[in-house]
Structures are given as structure tokens and as C-alpha cells.
Structure 1
Amino acid sequence: MPSAGLAPRRIVQLTALLSMFALFTAQLASALLPNLPVFVIASAGGLALDTYLQYKQPGLLSLLSKIRFDVTVRQLLRDMLIVVGLLRLPGINPLKEQAPLTIALLAFYVLHFTCQALAVLVRRTRQLPIVTRNIDASALRLSAAPPRILSRRQAHRLLVFSAPATAGLLGSAISTTVYPGAIGVGVSLALMAGGTFYLATWLLPKNRAANDAKVIEWLGKWLDDYQPTVAMYFSGGTTSAYQANMWLSTLAKVDGKPLIVLRERFMVQKIDATDVPILCVPKVANMFALENSTLKMMLHPANAAKTSQVLRIPTLKHAFINHGESDKLSSCNPYAKAYDEVWVAGPAARDRYQLADIGVEDKDVVEVGRPQLSPIRRYDDQAAAGKREYTTVLYAPTWEGWDGNPGNTSVVLAGENIVRELLADPKVRLLYKPHPMTGSQDPRAGLANERIKAMIREANTKRSGARPGPEAAQELALRTAELDRLTSTSFRTSADEMERMLLQSAPDGDREAAVAAATAAWDTAYWDSFPEWEHQIITSARPPIFSCFNQAELLISDVSSVVSDWLSSEKPYAVANTSGLSETEFKAGFPTVRAATILAPEADGVAALLESVRHPEKDRFAEARAELKEHLLGPSDPPSIDRFNAAIGALCAKVDARRLRMESRLASEIPSQRTGDEAAEHAAEEMESDPNGAEEVTA
């Protein structure tokens, strides 16, 4: 499937590349012959094609830049060929008339390179050593960014500003007079000179932000004022932000002053809407500003290469909270022993670490539940499911994993069979929500995923019934616009990092509560916009998986954290066994499936599974699910957020105890090890009590 999508793109790129070189060849040949019509068409066509590629094929231009044939070289070559053409074409005196044009054209390029150098300087002065969000950083003299065409898009700037010069020179070639060329080059010179001067104003003292030393000094003062106690530390790639986002609601409810600490600049905008202050510190040297703050501990939802850097701060304690728990080996990473404590949902994860024998001691494992599962509703009246016209089934398979093990995902071996059996039941409504990375490792998974989607679309064409009126779609559009307004900050295209800091300096009221309310309203509007009988393919971020949980009476999935989360509802579930193990071995090896119906790759047990959902008296696993829920997620009382806060308090208490020990140790050190201020104070006291002795010491 991926290769089919790549072929047309490569054909377009190859066609564009051949066209570019054909135009250069035609321009050179027509300049030397000379041939005026071909010369004008080739020169203008080359500029138009280059401008088009800047917007439509940046990947191709990136490849050309790697072989040193970038936009500057191409435009310079294009202009030099125009100069050659003017020399060869009759009508213009090359010495008296063309020489000033050539000199003016060279001056244009001098200004271009000057503007480019200024752009580099401006970008460097506007990149602060930290990035903030939800923090008032106006004291750093933040300002709006210069136009992007001047500061960041030198290719577009060169092509746009040189267009008048190219048009004027071609006008001179056609009219055989110098005036069109003089006007065109003059306009280009004026544009480049004006842009360069305007860009230079960002280097004036009044427009420059605070220097790095002042920024770090400000950070220390802000930390003193805010007095954070607990931070969530996160580092990762562009697709990993969900690992931190799932903890935002929990972090907002912790006792104390929460803080989010990031390491990658791009990640600041990847974090979802929250009122919690966000601080990004890219350089490890600046991380130690946290050492002298009131911060006591850090929560880590994921392991990352840069995590080891923050673990070196001796004044902080660290707890690994993970971004999901399952029976997979990745849930027991040996890196976990680097943290002071490992926080897990319930006894199952504690047992998992001990069985894995990776060096995590049992005393360092703390059970806190899963506080972010609070949006999942428990279905107390399962008997009502049998009275509904349609049974809603959520099929949420995981992806194939980094190792490509066929037992990781059911999509390849069992997915089509499961969906076929579900679609064969006229009273089933299927919600299909595959993992977003399905097919990224194994092309077979991607192909099977597409076939499953096609099966669902075809099944929908065979169903009919009443549909919600147009007011339902209007309500969804209204709720979508409101949610988008709350969750996304609109920036102008020229906005850079500093300008975004300025616009996101502080949360606008209780934004997080407003987002929660808007999300709930959107969920209701979304599900109301579809008929009850229609199957759904859900591949976008909305609705989230928990919203799908609340719609479904039954889950079919794989061995993944989805199963653990689903168990909080205590509703029936099934797990596909594509591992090659027997059912007994499968349940023994993966504790999260012990209360599940196990489906073989043939999926021949789907009909009986649906029967047990519609007739609760046939549900053999109801008690087992309740027991497994407590084993996986811990007890329901006290609530998970209370246990989470208790764990924070206990770890912070250890930090306080250590600080007291360190202060006591420093106070008991010998005088020679005292600080300079303490030594001076001690000498002053001796001078007051014995002036003669003090003079002898001074001498």
C-alpha cells in the first residue's frame, strides 16, 4: 500500500526535475543562438516553476540543496543567462546600457546576502535558552516576530523580490531598450533594501529580548515566586506527546504547585490545553536552575535518552508513572530502576516487576491506581444492553510493535475474521478504532487495515434507517468550532517561538475546566450526529478511546493497555490470541486476559460472545472481571487521585527529610569548610570579642 502512494509522487518530482533542467538548457541555447521567443519563455518559465516548487515540492528542492544546487544558485544562474542573452541579442549597447543593469543586478545579490546574514542574527537573538507557556514572561521583553519572508524563508524572498528584475530584463530584451530593465531591477533593489533595513530594526536594543544570562536570572526569580513542588518531566519525538497529554488532567489535580518540564522546543505546542505552567529547557546546563528551587520531585510518564540528565539533580526525587500498563515486556523496562520509585496502578504491575527480575525492588513500587480513567463510566445495568436494538461493539486492535511479532496485533491474522463475524450479525453496531501506527512496521497490517475499512463501508451501504436531522450536524459543527477555539491557539504564519511565548503568557481563566465542558458537549453532539445502526470507522484523535468505551457494551482488542483501561468499566471484553499459544498458556502468560473471552484467529466464538452480552445470565466472567479490575487497577476506595496525592506527599516528605539532613551536616562541618559569608561573619564576631587577637590574625 505505501509503495502505491509513493509512485505518483515520484513521477511528479521526476517530471518537475526534468522540466527544470530542460528550461535551463533552452534558456542557455536561446541566449547563445539567439532566439528571442524561446529565450523569454524559458527564462520566465524557469522562475515560475521554481516558485511553484517552493510551495508544492519542498522535498525535491531539499534534495537539490544537498547537491549544492539550491535556490540561490538556480536564480543566479537564471539571471546570468539573461545577461548573456542581452549581450547576444541586438538592440542594446552592452557597454553603455547593459553595464549599469549588470552592476545593479549584482548589488541586488549583495543586499540579498546581507539580508540573509541579518536574518540569521535576528533568529539567534530571538531564540531564548528557555521556552514557556502559561507563564507571564513579559519581563523578558518579548516581541512579535518579523515577517517570515524576511527572517525564515530566504528562498521565497529571493524569488519574489527578484521577479521584477527578471520581468524588467526580459522586457528590455523584447523592446531592445534599457528602460524596462532599469525599472525592474530598481524595484527589486528597493524591495530588498527596504526589507533588509526593516529586518535590521529587530536588532535595535529596544527590540531585542533579554540575553541568556538575564533569562536564567529571571527564571530563578519566577521559580522563587511560583514555588513549584511537583513537576512532570517529558522528552520525546513528534508522535509521543500523547504519553504526556494523558496525565494533564491528573497533574492539574495534584496537591501543591504543579509544573511541566520539557526538553524539546517543538513539544511546547504539542501539549494539549492545560492551565499548568510549562517550562521547556533544551540545554542540560540550564536544567540545574531547578536544583535551587522549591521543586521536590518529578513524575516521568516515559523513558527517554535525556531523562538521565535530570536524574543527576541531587535535590529532586523521581517517580516513574508510565503512560499505560499491559502485559507486554515494554511495561517492565530495566530503566525503571533508575528512578527513586515506580508508581503502578495495582498489584498486577507490582507482581509483573518482581517476576521480570530487572532490579526494581518491591519497596520502591507504589500502587496509585489510574487517576486518568475517571472519564470511563461503569456500566451498572448490564441487563439493559440486551434490551437495546443494537449491541455496540468496539474493536480496538493495537499495532504490530517494533519487533513485528504477529502476536502483538490481531489485525493481520484475525482482524478480517472478527469484523466479518460482527458484520454478519444484523443487530451489531461496530466501532472500529485501530491504533494510529497500524502498518508502520508491517505492511501486511496496513493492507489488512484497509481491507477491514472497506468491509465496514460496504456493510453500511446495505443498511438503512432513519438518520438524525440537519440540526444534529449543525450542533456538531458548533461544538467542534467551540472546542477548536479552546484547544488551539491561532498564530499568524510569521509567528516564531518568542511570539508564541508572548501570546501564551498566561492561561485565560479556568481554561482546563472550559475545555472539559466543551469536550463533553462535543462527545454528545458527535454520537448524536450518527444513526444508531451505522458502523463507524474512527481514525482521528476525536473521539478519544475513552469516549468510545462509554458507547460500547463490548470490547474486542489485543494484549495492550486498552484492556486494562477498559476493565475499569467492568463490561465484557474479548482478546484475540494470535500468539500461537494455547488458551491456557495465553491466560497464564498474560494476566490481563484472565477474565476475557479468548478468540482464536478464526474468530468462531464471536456469536457466543455476543449472546453473553445480550443475556447477562450467560456471562461467565462478571465476577472475574471485578476481581481482575482490583488486581490491575487497585481498590476503588480511596479514589485513585487520593492515592496519587498521598504518594506525592510521601515522596516529597522524603525530600524534606533529606534536605534537613544536609542542612544539619553542613552546620556541623569544620570552620574551614564553611562558606565565605559564614567565615566572614565568624571573623567579625571574633574581632568584636577580642580586637587584639583579630589584628594578629589579620596580620
Structure 2
Amino acid sequence: MALPIKQVGREIVRGVPAQAVIGGIVVGAVAGALGARWVCLVALTASVIGEPFLHRRQHLVVRALRTLSLGLTVRIVFRLLCATAVLAHRPASSRDVFLLVLSSALLVLGRALYVFTSGRLTARRNPAVETRNVPLDGLDVPKPPPAWLTRWSGSVVSAVELLIIVPACLSSRPGSPVVWLAPVAVLAMFAAAIWCELGARRAERTLGPADVVAVVQRHLDESRPAVALYFGDGPRAVYQANMWLPALERLSQPSVVVLRNRASLGALGPTRLPVLCVPSAEHLMALDLSTVAVSLYVANIGNNIHMLRVPGIRSAFIGHGDSDKKASFNPYSRVYSQVWVAGPAGRQRYREAAVGVHDGDVVEIGRPQLDEPATPARADDHVPTVLYAPTWEGWDDEQAYSSLATHGVALAASALREGSGVRLLYRPHPFTGRRDPAVAAAHAQIVEMIEEANRRDGGSAEPVLEPATDNALTEIHDRFERAVRSGQLDAPLSALEAEAQLRAVEDQYWRAMAPGRHAVMTQQGPSLLSCFAQADVLVTDVSSVLSDFVSTGRPYVVCNNSGAAEDDFLAEVPSARAGHVLGPDQDVEDVLRLVRGESPDLLADERRALRRELLGPDSPSSQYRLERAVEALIASARPEVREGVQASEFHIEGVTAR
């Protein structure tokens, strides 16, 4: 992936760690060449101290330096060379020079060994099956290594490096005792490496994959989950799984969540459901999942095949929102036993696309996430609000629905104009800028424009939203220790409890926000449904955001960045027909007039009709329809599980047992 040069430059200019690390080496090199030992010492010390902060806070700069072959090892060598260069200007003995140079070389070697052994220790402390809410009784788990040895390893290296830099710069006479700090640094580096290796070997003896799989299997045999929610992607996409956790907890059938990416486990929302993170296909296949009758898939990921190949499990694609995107009728969907959509429009998409999904395999379940919409209180002095929620640019040009590069900046400029009478809430997609630099640039520009507008208007600081988390777990960084403690919790925070708590803090957030303050709504902020409640008008692209917003009954605008005429666009995007279409050359002021209520709302009746088409009927509830769909699919997979159940019992708007 190409480096965003401008963004890297901005991070260096604004980031103190990057300035300290890079500037310290440059100044240290000049000072070392000139023999200015105190300047050299201060510069190199600042560079060394800045390293841990650089790696924690400025990942883009770290990646840029690595791309330029200026990784951490090279930077360490540069700093040691700068320090030893000072000796050329001091009356040091040949023994001192030899001791410092040899210590520098051994330090680099010791660090390489430390990186290798600490990596082995971390790997051995990563369970073959990482869990949440699963008792690990009977597993002999050694105490985790000290945080400074693994998690804060950069600080260890920095401290040891200073033990060579300081004597090299401060040695003022031959035979100075300060130079003996250098061998101490080498010994400390090798001692840390040996400690990590001993810990890795102990973990290897007691925490082998077979031991972990056996303990997890015992839990599966006892809990006998019938439903599995499968998620194979990384943490940036984990919202796709999070949105289904409350609905899954409401099911009467015992359920389990199966993840494939370790980072996703940390990003997964609170839940009382047992969670298994199984990165290796080998270990997934080693688990006996014979009690699982139905697996639910939220995204079309290649590693879905590892679960799809398990005999006896019926599969259903539930997605993460319906829309007119091509991804909503992907040919990949024909690999599943059934495809569950929100309403009749979802069924019609598959009919028209003719991608091999049989009409009888499409089940309409509504959107359980919309059964209880968020309704945070609006301020008495509510300012007309436009929610701009563009999608991302897609994996290729065929799926490039994002309006950021074509409409976003112009819309933001109008809404943020002084005296516009409109508040802008900007909610970018989590994948924004992943593929197209133009989209990334437009996103960055809109964020800057919002910050500038708030400074201009003298608004107060944006409130801080702190969603519910299980602090007892989030503060534990060792994966095995976190899994053990999670399995010991009597009542872990559930997705339903977290949802209720989030709505409470969201209400406080909106009450605390100054009227008229513009804001960027990230994934760490209020939920999308909470933003819906604040918006008078939505401006979006072809995406599931549009379909979900229809549930509010309020006006919406769809950006047409395809270049097609409006009639042709509506033929391709029927969900836009009850809204206003904004072409790339149309005046965005029309949108602001709609937000301020200056333009008549002539499409309310069409939106009500579209709501049923996109989301299905209001009754029975979507959660009820989901429950019946699960029951029906279980019955079709395991007739003995639902003995005597007739298909007619589940015939609710396309929900039928087969």
C-alpha cells in the first residue's frame, strides 16, 4: 500500500515523538561530528525516549521510516555511531573505545535475540483457541510475564541503549569508570532475552494447542450451542458482528460466537455469549461442533469456507445491512443454505440479479437492530441538522459508491458556512480512504473544515462519550490471563446491558453538546442509530445506511456519483426513489433548504411505502422473525432437535423450514 506522503508529513509536524526521534538523530549526528558532547547527549537521549511513544502513537510514521529502510535497528545503530563519534574528540583510551564499540555491537545482537525470544514468548502466550466467557478450569496457566518485558519492550531497549550513549558522551578521561555501564547494558539485554526464552519454554510445556482445544471442547460439550455467529474479518470490520450480538443474546437457542482474527476479539463488543477466537483452520477443524446446527455469516470472507465445510451445519448469510450495492446480491451468497434479508426488496434484488440463489432460499427477517430505535433527547434549541454518512470507495471501481470525492467537500463547505443555520454531523465509513487517495484526501479536508468551523464559532469542546466496557478485562493485556479471568466472571457485561448503558451515555452526550456544534462521528462515538435521531435530513450514498434511515420516516438525499441520468440512476438504485437525488453538478443549497424546512417535503407517503419494502412489516417484530428463521433452519438441519415441528408453523413472510 502506498504511503500517504502528505499525511506522514502532517504527523511529523504535529507529533512530538516523531520530532524527537528524527530530530534527535540529525542533531546528534552533527553534534557528534563536531564533538559537542552535551548537545549530542541531549539530542540522542530525546531520540531514545521518543521511540516508545512513536511506536504507540504514530504508527504511520513508523511505517514510513521502515519503508525507507530506517527501522528501529537502523536508528539504534545510528545513535550508537553518533555517540561513539564523540570519542574522537575526547582523550579516551583505546581500551575505552574498544569496550564501547564492542558493547554497541553486542547490544544490537542482544536486541535481535531479545526480539526473537520475546516474540516466541508472546506466541506461546497466544492460546490456540482464545476465548471469552469460557471456563478454562484444569488448564495450567503460568503467571504472565511482567508487562515491561513484553508489552513495554521498547522502553526496555531504550533504557539499555542509554547505558551506552551516556558513557560514550560523558567519558572525559581515559579509564573513566562510567564506561563500564556499557557492559552492564549488554548483560541486561541478554538477560531479558534469556528470561523471555525460559518463559516461552514453560508455556510451550503447559499451554500446547491440544491442551487448550481439549478444555474448550469440554465447554462446548457441556453448553451444547445450537447457533454460531461466524466472523472472519479484522477489527476494523468488527462492527458487522457487534450489531448482531444483542439479537443473538435474545435468541432462545444457546449460541456461540466464532472469530478468526485475534485483534477482532479485543474489538468485539461486550457479550455474555461464549466467544471462541480460532485463527488456525487446523484448530477450528479439531473442534467437534456437532451440536451446532446453524451458522450465521455477517460478511463474505474467504475463510468462511473453513466453517462452511463442517458437515451437518446449515448456513445462513445475514450480512450487515441491506442496500442496492452489488455486494447485497453477491454471487458468493449461493454457497449458503439460505440468505436472510430485511424485506421484499432484498428478495427482489436476488431475483433480478440471477446469481444462483433460489428464491425459496431467501428469508425475510426484517432488521432486529431497528426494533427499538435509539431516541436520545433533542435540545430545546435544536439546530436543523444534516447527517452526512457516505460509504467507502469499495474494493474496486465497480463498487465505488462513495460521494466523498465528488460531493463531500462542497456539501461540507455549504453546511459549515457562517450563518448557514445548519449543523453538520459527519459520519464516515470505517473503511474510508482504504483504497482511493482522493477519498482519503476529501475525508481529511472535511475533518479540518469541521475543526476550523468550530474554532470560528467559538464552540465549547466536544463531549466525551465513554461506552460500556468490562474494565476488569480490558486492563489485562496477556491473552491467556484475560481468557482465564473472563471465564471466571460470574456475570460478564451482556450486549443487552451494554446497549442500554450506551443509550444512556449517548443521551448525556447529546445534552452536553453545544447547540450548533459540528462534529465528526467516529466508531468510538455515538452509534449510527443515535445520529439518526439527531438528523433532520440524511445525505448518504448507495448503502445500508439509507435503508436503515428509512425507518425514521424523515427525508433523505442520495448522492449520484455514477454520471448516469437521474432516471437511469433510480432504475439501478430503487431505494433512492423516495428521496432526493443529488448529482455532482447540482446545487447543494437545495439540501440545506430541505434541512431548514424551507422546501416542502413531498415524499413522506413514498417513504412510508418504501419502509415496508426495504425493512418488511412492523409486526411481528424482526426479533421474532429472526427467532422463527433460526428455529426453522435448525429443524431442517436436525429434524430430531425439533421433533414434530411442521413447516407451516414457521411460514411467516418467507420464513419456512425446508
TM-score range, shorter chain: 0.7 to 0.9
Supply the distance in 1 between the matched residues of 2:104 and 2:421 (Cα, whole angstroms).
75
Distance 1:186 1:638, change over 3 A: same
2:587 aligns to what? 602
Bigger shift: residues 141-150 or 413-422: 413-422
Secondary structure, counterpart of 1:239 in structure 2: helix
* Contact 1:111–1:192 (Cα < 8 Å) also in 2: yes
* Contact 1:463–1:533 (Cα < 8 Å) also in 2: no
2:538 aligns to what? 555
Write the mapping of 1:675-686 to structure 2, written as runs, cut at 5 A. none
1:671 aligns to what? none
The alpha carbon displacement at 1:134 in A equals 2.0
Given the alignment of the two structures, is residue 627 of structure 1 paired with residue 609 of structure 2, yes or no?
yes
Distance 1:578 1:21, change over 3 A: closer
Write the mapping of 1:425-440 to structure 2, written as runs, cut at 5 A. 428-440=422-434
Amino acid in the other structure paired with 2:8: L
Equivalent pairs, count: 627
From 370, 391, 399, give the equivalent of 1:398.
391
The alpha carbon displacement at 1:427 in A equals 5.8
Supply the distance in 1 between the matched residues of 2:199 and 2:400 (Cα, whole angstroms).
58
From 66, 70, 82, give the equivalent of 1:62.
66
2:177 aligns to what? 179
1:261 aligns to what? 258
Percent identity between the two aligned chains: 30
1:160 aligns to what? 159
Amino acid in the other structure paired with 1:491: E
Distance 1:22 1:63, change over 3 A: farther
Secondary structure, counterpart of 2:149 in structure 1: helix
2:506 aligns to what? 523
1:491 aligns to what? 475
Write the mapping of 1:123-138 to structure 2, written as runs, cut at 5 A. 123-138=122-137
> CA-atom RMSD, angstroms?
4.5
Supply the distance in 2 between the matched residues of 1:281 and 1:506 (Cα, whole angstroms).
20
The alpha carbon displacement at 1:648 in A equals 0.8
The alpha carbon displacement at 1:8 in A equals 5.3
Supply the distance in 2 between the matched residues of 1:222 and 1:81 (Cα, whole angstroms).
62
* Contact 2:134–2:216 (Cα < 8 Å) also in 1: no
Supply the distance in 2 between the matched residues of 1:427 and 1:45 (Cα, whole angstroms).
51
From 335, 339, 349, give the equivalent of 1:342.
339
1:6 aligns to what? 8
* Contact 1:241–1:270 (Cα < 8 Å) also in 2: yes
| TM-score for both structures, normalised by structure 2 | 0.80
Given the alignment of the two structures, is residue 647 of structure 1 paired with residue 629 of structure 2, yes or no?
yes
Supply the distance in 2 between the matched residues of 1:540 and 1:588 (Cα, whole angstroms).
32
1:49 aligns to what? 47
Supply the distance in 1 between the matched residues of 2:72 and 2:453 (Cα, whole angstroms).
54
Given the alignment of the two structures, is residue 229 of structure 1 paired with residue 226 of structure 2, yes or no?
yes
Bigger shift: residues 336-345 or 71-80: 71-80
Distance 1:308 1:532, change over 3 A: same
* Contact 1:47–1:159 (Cα < 8 Å) also in 2: no
The alpha carbon displacement at 1:445 in A equals 4.3
Distance 1:214 1:443, change over 3 A: closer
The alpha carbon displacement at 1:628 in A equals 1.6
The alpha carbon displacement at 1:274 in A equals 1.6
Supply the distance in 2 between the matched residues of 1:111 and 1:535 (Cα, whole angstroms).
52
* Contact 1:460–1:535 (Cα < 8 Å) also in 2: yes
Supply the distance in 2 between the matched residues of 1:614 and 1:169 (Cα, whole angstroms).
74
* Contact 2:227–2:292 (Cα < 8 Å) also in 1: yes
Secondary structure, counterpart of 1:306 in structure 2: helix
Larger Rg: 1
Supply the distance in 1 between the matched residues of 2:408 and 2:498 (Cα, whole angstroms).
35
Supply the distance in 1 between the matched residues of 2:499 and 2:294 (Cα, whole angstroms).
27
Secondary structure, counterpart of 2:236 in structure 1: coil
Supply the distance in 2 between the matched residues of 1:101 and 1:532 (Cα, whole angstroms).
63
Amino acid in the other structure paired with 1:274: T
Write the mapping of 1:345-360 to structure 2, written as runs, cut at 5 A. 345-360=342-357
1:695 aligns to what? none
Amino acid in the other structure paired with 1:365: V
Amino acid in the other structure paired with 1:602: D
* Contact 2:92–2:172 (Cα < 8 Å) also in 1: no
Distance 1:81 1:154, change over 3 A: farther
Supply the distance in 1 between the matched residues of 2:429 and 2:526 (Cα, whole angstroms).
13
Gaps of 5+ in 1: 31-36, 662-699
Distance 1:219 1:534, change over 3 A: closer
Supply the distance in 2 between the matched residues of 1:534 and 1:652 (Cα, whole angstroms).
50
* Contact 1:398–1:557 (Cα < 8 Å) also in 2: yes
Which structure carries more helix by proportion? 1
Deviations 1:217-238 (A, max 9, x none): 2122111012111111111134
* Contact 2:135–2:219 (Cα < 8 Å) also in 1: no
Write the mapping of 1:103-252 to structure 2, written as runs, cut at 5 A. 118-151=117-150, 156-168=155-167, 173-177=171-175, 179-182=177-180, 184-185=181-182, 187-188=184-185, 191-192=188-189, 195=192, 198-199=195-196, 202=199, 209-252=206-249
Supply the distance in 1 between the matched residues of 2:410 and 2:26 (Cα, whole angstroms).
52
1:315 aligns to what? 312
Amino acid in the other structure paired with 2:271: T
Distance 1:100 1:409, change over 3 A: closer
Secondary structure, counterpart of 2:185 in structure 1: helix
The alpha carbon displacement at 1:346 in A equals 1.1
Deviations 1:288-314 (A, max 9, x none): 244443111210000111112221111
Bigger shift: residues 539-548 or 61-70: 61-70
Distance 1:225 1:614, change over 3 A: farther
Gaps of 5+ in 2: 55-60, 644-658
